[in-house]
Amino acid sequence: MKKFFAKNGPGYFFLIPWFIGFFCLALGPILYSLYLSFTKYNIFKPPKWIGLENYEFMFLYDDRFWKSLEVTFSYVFMSVPGKLIFALAVAMLLDKGMRAIGFYRALFYLPSILGGSIAVAILWKQLFEYNGVINSLLAKIGIEGPYWLNDPNYSLYTLVMLGMWQFGSPMLIFIAGLRAIPRELYEAAEIDAASKWKQFYAITIPLLAPVIFFNLVLQMIDAFKTFSSAFIISGGAGAPLDSLNFITVYLYNEAFAFYRMGYASSLAWVLMLIIAIFTGVAFFSSRYWVHYENERD
Amino acid sequence: MTKIDRRKFMKAAAATTGAVAAASTMGSKAFAADSTVRHFWWGNPSRDKRTFGVIEVFNKKHPEIEVIGETLSFPDYFAKLTTQVAGGNMPDVIQQGYGVLFEYVDNGALKALDEYVGKSLDLSKIDKSALAAGTVNGKLYAVSIGANSHMALYNTRLYDEAGIKFDPFGWTYDDVKTIGVEISKAAGDGVFGTDDNTANYQNFSDFVGQKGVVMFNPESGDYQVTTDIVEEYWSMWTAIREAGATPPGKASAGLIKPPMAEWGIVTGQTATSYAWSNQLVGAQGLVKDKLGAAMYPNTPAMVPGSIVQPSQFICLTRDTDDAVAATTYMSAFVNDTDMTAILGLERGIPANPDVRAALAPNLSEAEAASVAFFSGIQGKTATLPPPPPSGANEIEQTFERIATGILLGQDSIPEAAANFIRQAGFIRRRAG
């Protein structure tokens, strides 16, 4: 016990503000929503206990729920790897000494600050409109662009691109990780005439694995929770044809458009379980591909 | 969902401080006046400006009462109101529509007005039909602040240039097609005769009435529309689209219940859009060409499908602290001609004849057109059906979603129609 605190004490100390927020503000509503998920509750009348009915309906009869899972998973599986690869590529470019490096770093980080905002989602919507900027650029090289936002075959890609564009925070973390790799390793590899590609994959990737893992987990959780951009771009209803009906958008509408707070709460808990399972799987798999230098402490 | 990060925490903290600050200023104002009345409405910039103007006049005339206005856009309005219902802190006076009013009454969120009528609330001049529309189970819960009907808006310049002559109070869907095609030809590239109403539930509800069907059974609340009607409606609009009267289906698929700024008639993409009559004034403000007003199209049998209904009500909530002050304000809102002069016709045609008479000399061209429209539709509208049961809103959204598949050419009309009727029935069973 003593040893545990000697080692982890400072960490927990710095977590105190978070704990206060969690226990004083968040925990109550979270537990209440767990209770609500077993009830029928339309806000006006008190919640009525219905046991597992919400979950039963969700898994057995609700096609829109399954569709929303498909949309959410497709988004996570496309946007997270895309974003990480993009972030790493830019981080490696910026890791090379160059002039005005701070300026570029700030510049590339900018989308991440803007990205969550409603204004950018609206701007994005305009860019991808049929007569929008993207299609006029495509027209210049002789391609007739599709109806990006109206056609369910394309709509999700616009959101994936918006997600990838917000690569700033993983990029910063990658830069820090790259800085921590001892230069001697690369020098030794140069002397052994290892190619750049070989260096990347034999030195950079293994030594960066803990950072990649960290980014992966954070970005995955974030991607599962995507809401505001999907809400704006899909006109609030997950349109067209539910192709943007993320589980978050679906549960918002169930709660605030159709007053089914109980069912919405059960959707929220399923989303939480999904995130927990995926995070758990990531942690479990990390034993096989992530190595920490100070592992044997 | 479960995580509070620093940024969220700071936001929450800032919001709390802000609320406390706001509450304390409200407190000091309340000290000056004897009571405060919060009035919450959904609006648009023009309506907000007018309503705040009204509040200013009222506060000057009644120093003992301080009215505080709050406003949001339509979808946000109900999201916020819902949380206020749950929290027991609804404003004193809220705006309601015919569609959801009864859900609020049913669930005890509103206070009946009867005990204030003739005292703080003067309704002696208000039209009987308007009062009837706000009465539920024999009690008055809502005061109409304007009447409304479905209205097709057309661009008079494009219609004139194509040499179109038609009867705005008796045109058919076939007319919409022929006129639309002619305008698409005459107006040239990228401009079409009419918006595509395949996914427009407002037009669909008219069509159901035109077929002689009442949408919801007044007793059971069952959805009484048949697959045939849905199929006929979608086939009809598909024919109009395929004739070239509307923009391509894929373009219309992105315009499900668009905000006013994206209506075909406002962007200039089409010559005809379909709206509510009280929106004529707002839309005219965004369009250079003069807009004309017509009824929604009908079938050759000309069975009335459109209804005249209160566009909005003001209601007293169960959370009010001072019902007398609140009803005094409500009373002035519909009777005081200094206040109604500022509102104009923006919320629809007022239910008080004195107010209408006072407005008449100063109407703008668009306002005059909407008054003329109301005399034109006399005798051509259907009777007001009972208020829609719960689930109606969800059925509407389901209609729009399935209709999008028709616009995109992905689904066959008979299958989609059967699917819609099946889901509508299911939604009603689940809501009941």
What residue of A is the nearest CA neighbor of B254?
Answer: A150
Q: Do the Cβ atoms of A235 and A27 come closer than 8 Å? A: no
Judged by a CB distance cut-off of 8 A, whether residue A280 touches chain B is no
| pLDDT, tens digit (0-9, with 9 covering 90-100), for B35-46 | 999 999 998 777
Of A43, A240, A253, the CB nearest to B86: A43
Give the per-residue pLDDT at B34: 80
The C-alpha angle A251, A255, A256, rounded to 5 degrees, equals 115
Alpha-carbon distance of B271 to B245, in angstroms, equals 10
Of B276, B284, B282, give the one whose Cα is nearest residue B306: B276
Count Cβ atoms below 10 Å from residue B282 Cβ, excluding itself: 18
| Per-window interface: B 366-405 vs A, CB < 8 A | 393-394, 397, 400-401, 404-405
Residues in A touching B75 (Cβ below 8 Å): 236
Q: What is the pLDDT along chain A (297 residues), one digit of tens a residue?
A: 677 778 888 888 999 999 999 999 999 999 999 999 999 998 888 899 999 999 999 999 999 999 999 999 999 999 999 999 999 998 988 887 667 777 877 777 777 777 667 888 888 888 898 888 989 999 999 888 889 888 999 999 999 998 888 888 899 899 889 988 888 898 999 898 888 889 898 889 999 999 999 999 999 999 999 998 899 888 888 888 999 999 999 999 999 888 899 999 999 999 999 999 999 999 999 888 887 766 544
Position B13 pLDDT exceeds 50: no
Closest CA to B228 of B246, B211, B216: B211
Q: Work out the average pLDDT over B194-199.
A: 96
According to the model, what pLDDT value does residue A280 have? 95
Q: Which of B6, B250, B256 sits opposite A239 (nearest CB)?
A: B256
Q: How far is B303 from chain A (nearest CA, A)?
A: 33
Q: Do B397 and A257 touch (CB under 8 A)?
A: yes
**According to the model, what pLDDT value does residue B356 have?**
86
Q: Which residues of B touch A130 (CB under 8 A)?
A: 250-251, 254
Closest residue of chain B to A61, computed from CA coordinates: B426
Q: Is A240 on the interface with B (CB under 8 A)?
A: yes
Nearest residue of B to residue A265, measured between CA atoms: B1
What CA–CA distances, in Å, run from B40 to B51, B52, B74, B187? Answer: 10, 11, 11, 43
Query: Nearest Cβ partner of B4 from A18, A225, A257?
Result: A18
Determine the residue of chain A that is closest to B79 in CA distance: A256
> Residue B432's pLDDT is what?
65
The dihedral through the CA atoms of A232, A235, A237, A238 has a sign that is negative
Q: What is the mean pLDDT of chain B?
A: 87
Give me the sign of the Cα torsion angle B12, B18, B23, B24.
positive
Inter-residue contact B265 to B191 (CB < 8 Å): no
A219-223, B6-10, B140-144, B290-294: the lowest-pLDDT one: B6-10
CA distance B167 to chain A (A): 35
* Distance, C-alpha B179 to centroid of its chain: 27
Distance from CA of B296 to the nearest CA of A (A): 25
CB proximity A101 to B under 8 Å? no
The whole-angstrom separation of Cα B432 and Cα B423 is 14
Tens digit of each residue's pLDDT (9 = 90 or more) over B218-267: 888 899 999 999 999 999 999 999 999 999 999 999 888 888 888 999 99
> What percent of chain B is predicted at pLDDT more than 90?
58
B422/A contact by beta carbon, under 8 A: no
Dist CA A199 CA A211 (whole Å): 18
ipTM for the complex?
A: 0.82
A87 φ, ψ to 5°? -65, -40
Domain A50-289 in CATH 1.10.8.640? The answer is no
CB contact under 8 A, B12 and A25: yes
CA distance A201 to chain B (A): 34
Q: Residue range B301-306: average pLDDT?
A: 92
Spans of all domains in chain A: 50-289
Chain B residue closest to A270 (CA)?
B1
Interchain contact, A259 vs B12, CB within 8 Å: no
Put simply, the answer to whether B4 touches A130 (Cβ < 8 Å) is no
pTM over 0.90: no
Interface size, chain A vs chain B, as Cβ–Cβ contacts under 8 Å: 81
Residue A113: closest CA among chain B residues belongs to which residue? Answer: B7
Backbone angles phi, psi at B316, to 5 degrees: -100, 135
CB contact under 8 A, B1 and A268: yes
Nearest CA in chain A to B318: A44
- Note whether A150 contacts B: Cβ–Cβ < 8 A: yes
